[in-house]
């Protein structure tokens, strides 16, 4: 099996084969060197005092880390290329040490990508040259009063005889203190108009260089529960003059660039969630192995062993899903847009699974996990923040529900399952489609037979139960939802989306279990969690229908009780205790 698919661990001795594979990448080695020499004490002080990490920014700049990861080959002066597997492994390892530091890279991606998606070649070249000099970028979309409702945004630009002027304020903007360029979403209002822009005024995305504009004012840090040493801030722009050369895109192109950027950028956050949980797991196991109560190690208590094994299995599933979704993204093209569903599932589910993993580990680790000099303590806070950073999980569940009809129809039977990026030695490199993708229509995406993924695993009791749940839910979906028109009841669409997200999640997890030949006890425990989740969510969904209605009867078949043998549980537990030995 491929060890690199398991949760990362940089603290075991000897290092796992997976960690060794990550360390073969020069950029990851540089990250590990930086954080290991900095030390947890210094990191936690920076976190407590909410100190900006200027030393890290200098370090990444000196080694051109962000530039190597984010520059498309065509524009790179230094052999950079936009490789999905390099970027996502880097983000995972980065969050393993500090999600707060990693946030500056996430936001740099968000600020840069709309420029790369545009046709403004001069701006692209300038942006890449600056990135290669070590500059950071920012993505200025959110406004304090409007959250997810981007059509209500008030930041306005006006066309003038000499160019444009911009006025407005943004809130919750990462890197607002240090970005060389902020890509700002504004609305175009008529020159004479004095009031707020109309709800449907056309969008304009433009590049603002804070250091070169006195109109950029009142930058304030927003103090957040997690990622405290990062800078998330608000700012105002008053009468900023700019020319057409700074326009990134307008109208439909601007909207597509924002959605395309968020679709990829927020999907990448899931890799951070796996890194955070992986580090918390290593700390928890280390503490519990050393903690002696009643004359023996705490990990010998059955319920603690079980809870840690369950957390490990959930974390494996997060990583198996995330890296399989990457394979679909790698092969995406006009005729194969399955990645749209899997990206949305990742945004809604992987980081919320991370919150569950942290909950399970917190139950076991006890007081130690709340001591502020541990990684664990900030992992509790940072893992909670990621689902919010991703925007609204609710919106993602609503979106996921829109793919359901096509997913179950299986009309795309000639679509091939993509090769695994993690299993191959050669990186296929970047794909122009990622910079051009515009079509996000869920109703025109095709999928193959959704049950095929389970074929080689179906003898396992928990997989068999999960297949029965998928079949039961498919019956409900086919018979019940067309007449429901989910968009008319947002709560119902979200509840359906939550069930369906587990189905899509299970498919990709199963695919990676098979591809990487994961030992069967681990597969069984992973599917134990999926059966549990599917039962819980379908019960919640059932309660939204009348007790004598057909839907409750259909959904009754979806509720199942997982069955994991004591020997499977012990096998997973023994495997992970041996793996995390120091």
State yes or no: residue 225 binds ligand FAD (CB under 6 A): no
**With CB under 6 A, what is the number of residues at the site for ligand FAD?**
21
Q: Confirm if 144 and 169 have CB atoms less than 8 A apart.
A: yes
Residue from 2, 130, 368, 394 in contact with ligand FAD (CB under 6 A): 394
Task: Select the residue interacting with ligand FAD from 20, 36, 148, 217 (CB under 6 A).
Answer: 148
C-beta closer to ligand FAD: residue 361 or 386: 386
Residues numbered 482-521 forming contacts with ligand FAD, rule: CB under 6 A = 490
Kindly state the helix (H) or strand (E) to which residue 168 belongs, with its residue range: strand 163-174
Q: Which residue is nearest to ligand FAD (CB)?
A: 147
- The conformation of residue 226, written as its DSSP 8-state character, comes to S
**Cβ 480 to ligand FAD shortest distance, Å:** 21
- Binding flags for ligand FAD, 340-379, as an x/- string (CB under 6 A): ----------------------------------------
Give me the helix-helix angle, 566-579 and 302-330, nearest 10°.
80
Stretch binding ligand FAD (CB under 6 A), from 1-9, 140-148, 545-553, 560-568 = 140-148
CB of 495 vs ligand FAD, minimal distance in Å: 12
Identified binder of ligand FAD from the candidate list 205, 208, 232, 576, rule CB under 6 A: 232
CB of 53 to ligand FAD, least distance (A): 16
**Residue 349: how many CB atoms within 10 A of its CB?**
27
**Per-residue DSSP letters for 520-562?**
HHHHHHHHHHHHHHHHHHHHHHHTTS-TTSHHHHHHHTT----
> Which span (13-21, 54-62, 85-93, 392-400) binds ligand FAD, by CB under 6 A?
392-400
Q: Under the phi-then-psi rule, with left for phi > 0, alpha for psi from -120 to 50, and beta for the rest, what region is 241?
A: beta
Q: Quick one: which segment of 18-26, 135-143, 467-475, 507-515 binds ligand FAD (CB under 6 A)?
A: 135-143
CA-closest candidate to residue 105, choices 144, 68, 141: 68
| Beta carbons within 10 angstroms of residue 215's beta carbon | 17
Helix (H, G, I), strand (E, B) or coil at 446: coil
Which of 388, 446, 452, 551 touches ligand FAD (CB under 6 A)? Answer: 388
| Residue with smaller CB distance to ligand FAD, 172 or 500 | 172
Provide, rounded to whole angstroms, the least separation between the CB of residue 154 and ligand FAD: 14
In the complex, least distance from residue 110 CB atom to ligand FAD, rounded to whole angstroms: 6
**Choice from 71, 76, 142, 522 touching ligand FAD (CB under 6 A):** 142
Q: Which is nearer to ligand FAD, 7 or 174 (CB)?
A: 174
**Distance of alpha carbon 577 from alpha carbon 514, whole angstroms:** 24
CB 500 within 8 A of CB 400: yes
Told to check if 385 binds ligand FAD by CB under 6 A, we report yes
* Residue 1 tokens, joined: 């099996």
Q: What is the rounded distance in angstroms from the CA atom of residue 301 to the CA atom of residue 297?
A: 8
First-to-last C-alpha distance (Å) of the chain: 22
Minimum separation from the CB atom of position 38 to ligand FAD (A): 22
Q: Closer to ligand FAD at the Cβ: 224 or 522?
A: 224
Nearer to ligand FAD, 205 or 360 (CB): 205
Please state the closest distance from residue 394 (CB atom) to ligand FAD, in A: 3
- Least CB distance to ligand FAD at residue 247 (A): 19
40 alpha-carbon distance from chain centroid? 25
The single residue among 25, 297, 392, 557 that binds ligand FAD, judged by CB under 6 A, is: 392
Instruction: Pick out residues in 168-197 that bind ligand FAD (CB under 6 A).
Output: 172-174
Among the listed ranges 299-307, 390-398, 541-549, 555-563, the one in contact with ligand FAD (CB under 6 A) is 390-398
Which of these ranges, 44-52, 138-146, 339-347, 463-471, lies near ligand FAD under the rule CB under 6 A? 138-146
Select 106 or 305, whichever has its Cβ closest to ligand FAD.
106
* Cβ neighbours of residue 245 closer than 8 Å, sequence gap 6 or more: 120, 122, 123
The correct pick among 40, 259, 395, 415 for binding ligand FAD (CB under 6 A) is: 395
Answer yes or no: are the C-beta atoms of 228 and 100 closer than 8 Å. yes
Residue 345 CB-half CA count within 13 A: 31
The least CB distance from residue 261 to ligand FAD, in Å, is 10
Contact map string, positions 88 to 127, toward ligand FAD, x by CB under 6 A: -------------------x--x-----------------
Q: Residue 160 and residue 499: Cα distance in Å, rounded?
A: 51
| Contact indicator for 418, 516 with CB cutoff of 8 Å | no
Phi, psi of 165 (to 5 degrees): -130, 150
Instruction: Report the alpha-carbon angle 360-364-365, nearest 5.
Output: 115
Q: How far is the CB of 393 from ligand FAD (least distance, A)?
A: 6
Q: CB nearer to ligand FAD: give 292 or 490.
A: 490
Minimum CB–partner distance for residue 226 and ligand FAD (Å): 7
Q: What Cα–Cα distance (Å) separates residue 251 from each residue in 186, 255, 291, 484?
A: 10, 7, 60, 33
Question: How does strand 232-242 pair with strand 296-297?
Answer: unpaired
| C-alpha distances out from residue 241 to 160, 167, 244, 419, 438, Å | 9, 10, 10, 49, 30
Positions in 322-341 near ligand FAD (CB under 6 A): none
Which residue among 98, 120, 183, 224 contacts ligand FAD (CB under 6 A)?
Answer: 224
For residue 139, state whether it binds ligand FAD (rule: CB under 6 A). Answer: yes
- The Cα–Cα gap between 210 and 235 comes to 10
- DSSP one-letter code for 121: H
List residues bridging with 216 in a β-sheet.
237
SS3 label, residue 169? strand
| Residues in touch with ligand FAD (CB under 6 A) | 107, 110, 139, 141-142, 147-148, 172-174, 224, 232, 385, 388-389, 391-392, 394-395, 398, 490
């Amino acid at each position: 099996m491929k060890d690199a698919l398991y949760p990362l661990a940089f603290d075991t001795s000897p290092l796992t084969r997976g960690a060794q594979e990550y360390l073969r990448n020069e950029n990851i080695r540089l990250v590990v060197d930086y954080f290991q020499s900095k030390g947890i004490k210094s990191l936690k002080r920076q976190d407590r005092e909410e100190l900006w990490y200027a030393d890290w920014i200098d370090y990444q700049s000196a080694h051109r880390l962000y530039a190597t990861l984010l520059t498309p080959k065509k524009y790179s002066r230094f052999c950079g290329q936009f490789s999905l597997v390099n970027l996502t492994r880097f983000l995972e390892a980065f969050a393993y040490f500090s999600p707060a530091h990693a946030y500056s890279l996430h936001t740099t991606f968000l600020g840069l990508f709309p420029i790369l998606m545009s046709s403004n070649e001069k701006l692209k070249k300038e942006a890449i040259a600056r990135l290669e000099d070590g500059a950071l970028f920012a993505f200025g979309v959110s406004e304090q009063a409007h959250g997810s409702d981007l059509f209500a945004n008030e930041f306005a630009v006006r066309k003038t005889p000499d160019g444009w002027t911009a006025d407005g304020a943004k809130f919750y903007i990462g890197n607002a203190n240090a970005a060389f360029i902020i890509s700002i979403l504004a609305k175009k209002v008529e020159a004479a108009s004095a009031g707020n822009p109309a709800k449907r005024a056309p969008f304009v995305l433009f590049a603002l260089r804070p250091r070169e504009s006195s109109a950029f004012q009142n930058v304030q840090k927003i103090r957040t529960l997690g990622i405290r040493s990062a800078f998330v801030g608000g700012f105002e722009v008053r009468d900023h003059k700019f020319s057409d050369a700074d326009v990134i895109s307008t109208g439909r192109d601007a909207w597509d660039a924002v959605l395309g950027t968020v679709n990829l950028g927020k999907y990448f956050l899931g890799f951070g969630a796996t890194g955070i949980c992986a580090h918390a797991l290593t700390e928890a196991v280390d503490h519990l192995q050393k903690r002696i109560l009643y004359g023996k190690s705490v990990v010998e208590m059955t319920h603690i062993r079980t809870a840690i094994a369950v957390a490990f299995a959930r974390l494996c599933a997060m990583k198996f899903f995330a890296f399989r979704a990457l394979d679909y993204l790698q092969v995406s093209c006009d005729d194969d847009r399955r990645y749209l569903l899997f990206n949305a599932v990742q945004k809604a589910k992987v980081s919320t699974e991370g919150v569950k993993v942290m909950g399970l580990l917190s139950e076991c680790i006890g007081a130690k996990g709340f001591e502020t000099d541990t990684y664990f303590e900030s992992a509790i806070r940072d893992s909670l923040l990621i689902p919010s950073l991703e925007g609204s999980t609710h919106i993602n569940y609503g979106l996921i529900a829109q793919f359901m009809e096509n997913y179950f129809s299986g009309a795309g039977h000639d679509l091939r399952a993509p090769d695994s990026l993690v299993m191959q030695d050669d990186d296929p490199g970047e794909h122009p489609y990622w910079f051009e993708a515009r079509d996000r229509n869920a109703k025109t995406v095709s999928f193959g037979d959704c049950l095929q993924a389970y074929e080689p695993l179906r003898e396992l009791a928990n997989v068999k139960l999960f297949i029965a749940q998928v079949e039961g839910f498919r019956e409900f979906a086919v018979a019940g939802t067309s007449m429901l028109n989910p968009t008319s009841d947002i709560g119902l669409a979200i509840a359906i989306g939550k069930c369906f997200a587990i189905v899509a999640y299970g498919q990709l997890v199963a695919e990676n279990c098979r591809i990487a030949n994961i030992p069967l006890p681990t597969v069984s425990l992973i599917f134990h969690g999926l059966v549990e989740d599917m039962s819980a969510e379908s019960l919640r969904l059932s309660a939204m229908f009348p007790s004598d209605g057909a839907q409750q009867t259909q959904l009754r078949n979806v509720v199942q009780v997982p069955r994991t043998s004591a020997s499977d549980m012990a096998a997973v537990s023994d495997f992970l205790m041996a793996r995390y030995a120091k």
